[in-house]
């Protein structure tokens, strides 16, 4: 690489406490999952090339300067719970020389976690608000090679394990990978294996010694990393230009990541501001519901607030943002996003039932530009908009067009209603209108219990729906009964057999009760069945009772009622 010095490095030296590696604020956060970290170590052991690093020598004096972009420490102990964010580097010695990583951060961070730290991800089916659901695990290497059917040969097996799990596993022989740094010769390795493992035979012991010796060579003794070093005389603009050019090709970095780097170059506090805000809006006050807002969403939203800026993500459009204006308006942008998030929370939405986060942006735009959001009728209109936009997938294909046209309709509007969008025609002649019964019928017959869209439709059909209360999608004709009727069973989760019911009511009273028995119970309690079961078909000549024998007729009649209701609600 022209004008760059290339320096070969051992992995051990790069993860050493005295290596002085740091991250410029223009870098994104660490995103590799544990499987990818394990694959990296396996590639190293198999002798595969792992690429080069691009680094920038910088003095502590420049890091401490008032106009510096900000630098961060690498993470040793990564945690999905509270350890995803790098610590800001502060008050370093002016004379100290650091190595800022411009390219190769994910690989180097993975090596550091695997050799010097831990990885703590969320355990499935455990509460998100409990730190015990995020146990810290260390990287281990199995000293027994494992046969891999995909490649038809034995291979190395790396895995993140809790210490107790590794010790109790009698089938395998796990070695804590980071300990190899203290075993840098054959004699030490031989003694360690004899002192810590009981193998069934000498051949297995010999294989283990060979594996550890190979690991030792890779980590401690061989220059596997090639570091291109940019001299410390380059200014920030030159470094930013190099960073964007390198990361705008075929790399995992997204456009928002690159655009974000241009913000940070002019607003060093932006990374902490954005990180803290994303963490805040993704977990609600009671920590029972979660979202997945990210940098991409924030970047798009910032651009979307200014109607003079096209919504397409590129450097040309993003350069139109005045950073000083962004800093001045950041508080208002945050408050608008929080208000919109709380609004969709009131509608009963969280990440599990949101199909498009982009559908939230027009709501944020309206709030940011001082639209009335306290009126209950306006809230209900936005609820209809949010559901219909997702049911019709208007923010999917050609989503930028939808964002642009929707924003045009909201300019200077202080009172929102769905009628504002009546004349919007999107790519492919798509609209916010419901064109015919067949479109609604398709939803009712296609979407099933538990998917994102079933909740949307069922909540739309309930004008008094309270999103603050936990609800179940309850089978009207219970699954236990339909299982006895194979010809009906495949329709058990169809929307025509579902009804939103408060979780407490469903689990204590309804549960697997037959529809006929449940209706009788409601009647005995002087409760109007139609207030509990929405769109309950009336008994007539075709539907002479609510037994399972009339299941098809029941669904057909309920479908007509639901289609008619959706048309009235939206219009």
Cα separation, 225 vs 10, in Å, equals: 6
What pLDDT does 103 receive?
Answer: 87
Ramachandran angles phi, psi of 207, nearest 5°: -65, -40
What length is written for the chain? Answer: 571
- Which of these, 37, 331, 243, 65, lies nearest to 158 by C-alpha position? 37
At 139, the pLDDT band (50, 70, 90 cuts) reads very high
Cα separation, 322 vs 430, in Å, equals: 34
Taking phi over 0 as left and psi of -120 to 50 as alpha, with beta for the rest, 70 belongs to left
Average of per-residue pLDDT values in the chain: 87
pLDDT higher than 60, residue 250:
no
pLDDT higher than 70, residue 507:
no
pLDDT tens string 356-371 = 999 999 999 999 999 9
Residue pair 493/441 in contact by the 8 Å Cβ criterion: no
Residue 198 burial (C-beta neighbours within 10 Å; 0-12, 13-18, 19+)? exposed
pLDDT tens string 386-439 = 999 999 999 987 788 999 999 999 999 999 999 999 999 998 889 999 878 999
- Which of these, 1, 23, 225, lies nearest to 105 by C-alpha position? 23
Cα four-point dihedral sign 10, 16, 20, 21: positive
What pLDDT does 174 receive?
Answer: 96
pLDDT higher than 70, residue 237:
no
Cβ within 8 Å of residue 371, ≥6 positions away: 378, 410, 413, 414, 415, 416
Three-state secondary-structure class, residue 80: coil
Cβ within 8 Å of residue 470, ≥6 positions away: 502, 503, 504
* Least confident stretch, 170-174, 232-236, 346-350: 232-236
Three-state secondary-structure class, residue 412: coil
pLDDT higher than 50, residue 251:
no
* Both structure tokens of 555: 């669904």
What pLDDT does 138 receive?
Answer: 97
């Amino acid at each position: 690489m022209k004008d760059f010095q290339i320096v070969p490095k051992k992995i051990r030296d790069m993860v050493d406490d005295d290596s002085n590696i740091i991250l410029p604020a223009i870098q994104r956060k660490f995103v590799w999952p544990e499987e990818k970290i394990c694959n990296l170590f396996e590639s190293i052991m198999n002798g595969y090339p792992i690429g080069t690093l691009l680094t920038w020598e910088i003095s502590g004096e420049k890091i401490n300067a008032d106009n510096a972009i900000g630098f961060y420490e690498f993470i040793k102990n990564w945690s999905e719970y509270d350890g995803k964010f790098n610590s800001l580097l502060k008050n370093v010695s002016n004379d100290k020389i650091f190595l800022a990583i411009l390219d190769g951060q994910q690989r180097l961070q993975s090596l550091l976690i695997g050799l010097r730290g831990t990885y703590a991800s969320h355990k499935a089916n455990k509460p998100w608000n409990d730190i015990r659901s995020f146990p810290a695990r260390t990287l281990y290497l199995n000293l027994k090679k494992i046969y891999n059917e995909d490649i038809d040969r034995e291979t190395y097996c790396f895995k993140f394990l809790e210490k107790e799990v590794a010790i109790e596993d009698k089938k395998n022989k796990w070695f804590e990978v980071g300990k190899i740094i203290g075993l840098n010769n054959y004699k030490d390795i031989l003694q360690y294996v004899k002192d810590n493992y009981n193998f069934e035979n000498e051949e297995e012991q010999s294989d283990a010694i060979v594996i550890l010796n190979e690991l030792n060579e890779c980590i401690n003794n061989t220059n596997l990393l090639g570091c291109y070093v940019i001299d410390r005389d380059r200014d920030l603009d030159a470094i930013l230009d190099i960073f964007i050019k390198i990361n705008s090709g075929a790399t995992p970095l997204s456009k928002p990541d690159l655009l974000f780097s241009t913000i940070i170059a002019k607003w060093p506090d932006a990374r902490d501001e954005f990180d803290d805000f994303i963490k805040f809006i993704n977990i609600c006050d009671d920590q029972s519901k979660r979202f997945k807002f990210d940098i991409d969403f924030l970047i798009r939203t910032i651009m979307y607030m200014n109607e003079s800026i096209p919504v397409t993500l590129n450097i040309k459009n993003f350069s139109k943002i005045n950073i000083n204006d962004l800093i001045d308006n950041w508080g208002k942008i945050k408050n608008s996003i929080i208000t919109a998030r709380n609004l969709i929370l009131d509608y009963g939405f969280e990440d599990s039932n949101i199909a498009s986060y982009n559908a939230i942006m027009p709501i944020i735009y309206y709030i940011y530009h001082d639209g009335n959001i306290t009126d209950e009728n306006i809230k209900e209109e936005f609820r209809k908009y949010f559901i219909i936009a997702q049911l019709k997938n208007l923010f999917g294909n050609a989503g930028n067009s939808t964002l642009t046209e929707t924003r045009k309709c909201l300019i200077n509007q202080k009172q929102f209603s769905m009628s504002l969008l009546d004349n919007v025609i999107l790519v492919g002649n798509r609209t916010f209108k419901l064109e015919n019964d067949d479109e609604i019928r398709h939803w009712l017959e296609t979407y099933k219990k538990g998917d994102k869209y079933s909740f949307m439709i069922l909540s739309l059909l309930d004008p008094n729906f309270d999103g603050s209360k936990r609800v179940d999608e309850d089978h009207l004709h219970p699954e236990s009964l339909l299982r006895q009727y194979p010809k009906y069973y495949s329709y058990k989760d169809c929307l025509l057999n579902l009804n939103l019911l408060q979780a407490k009511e469903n689990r204590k009273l309804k549960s697997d009760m037959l529809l006929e028995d449940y209706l009788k119970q409601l009647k005995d309690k002087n409760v109007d069945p139609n207030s509990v079961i929405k769109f309950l078909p009336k008994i007539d000549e075709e539907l002479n009772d609510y037994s399972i024998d009339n299941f098809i007729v029941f669904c057909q009649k309920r479908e007509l009622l639901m289609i008619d209701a959706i048309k009235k609600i939206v219009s």
